[in-house]
């Protein structure tokens, strides 16, 4: 049974992705994807772009990273895609497309093999004018 009340809401989720070389991964997110560094230590870091956050943890198992992914919901996906194309970071099989499930999306692999899927619902423009 759901114990949530009408005043209870889930507000956000922050993926924590494995990084074989955390310094190189931070540089990639900063320089190629435009994420700002919120904090970092030798084995953990937090980055942010707009309302999206990603945390990274030092991991020696590249296979773990190569089997990890997350979705980042955005608006203005075509401009983001163009920006990332100039950075040459689009996954070879991740070109922008509207998927059968209705999302317009594309994919990027970070240096560890983590797959980042950037997605925008087709009705985002219509929903921006409304509040919950």
In tens, the pLDDT along 33-59 reads: 999 999 999 999 999 999 999 999 999
- CA distance linking residue 41 with residue 45, whole number of Å: 6
Give the model's pLDDT for residue 107. Answer: 98
Residue 92 is inside which H or E element, if any? none
Whether the predicted pLDDT of 124 surpasses 70: no
Q: Please name each of the domains of the chain with its CATH number.
A: 16-127 (3.10.180.10)
* Mean pLDDT computed over 94-117: 96
Give the model's pLDDT for residue 6. Answer: 73
Residue 89 DSSP class: -
Whether the predicted pLDDT of 130 surpasses 70: no
What's the residue count for the chain? Answer: 132
* Mean pLDDT computed over 55-71: 96
């Amino acid at each position: 049974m759901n114990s949530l009340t009408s005043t209870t809401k889930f507000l956000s989720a922050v993926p924590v992705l494995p990084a074989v070389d955390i310094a190189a991964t931070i540089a990639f997110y900063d320089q190629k994807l435009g994420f700002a560094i919120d904090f970092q230590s030798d084995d953990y870091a937090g980055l942010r772009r707009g309302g999206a956050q990603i945390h990274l943890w030092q991991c020696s198992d590249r296979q773990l990273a190569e089997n990890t992914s997350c979705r980042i919901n955005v608006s203005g996906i075509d401009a983001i895609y163009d920006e990332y194309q100039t950075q040459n970071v689009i996954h070879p099989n991740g070109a922008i497309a509207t998927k059968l499930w209705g999302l317009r999306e594309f994919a990027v692999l970070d240096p560890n093999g983590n797959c980042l899927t950037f997605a925008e619902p087709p009705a985002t423009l219509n929903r921006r004018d409304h509040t919950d």
